[in-house]
Amino acid sequence: MLTRVAIYEGTIEPGTEDAFFADVARRLEPIWRSFPNVLDVRVQRVLSADRGAIPIVMVLEMDFADRAALDQSLASDIKTKSHALTLEVLKPFNGRFFHFIAESHSIPAA
């Protein structure tokens, strides 16, 4: 399985955090779930981090069966729509976001 990960590095304008994440849930999560071939979508709101860690506000993970499924999804018009809407929703966010693709697998707990 491949996971496309988006890291949102930065800060949210103080006092707008709850409204920001409500907007993410209401406006972005439905479009992220509508990407072709997506198997699972996870959105992580960072609540705390180690001292000295870079400021990460949110992590988005989207799972795909293989590279062909992921490439087909990224070539769809949903990606263009998602990017435009993301820029709109991110207005109270000060920072940057970037993506990477990882091969992932689960490791059962001992």
Judge whether residue 104 has pLDDT over 90: no
pLDDT in tens, 47-75: 999 999 999 999 999 999 999 999 999 99
pLDDT in tens, 13-51: 999 999 999 999 999 999 999 999 999 999 999 999 999
Mean pLDDT of 67-95: 94
What SS3 state is found at 44? strand
**Domain definitions of the chain by residue range:** 1-62
Q: In what order do the strands lie in the sheet with 93-103?
A: 40-45, 56-64, 2-12, 93-103
Pairing of strands 40-45, 2-12: unpaired
Radius of gyration of the chain (CA): 15
pTM for this entry: 0.91
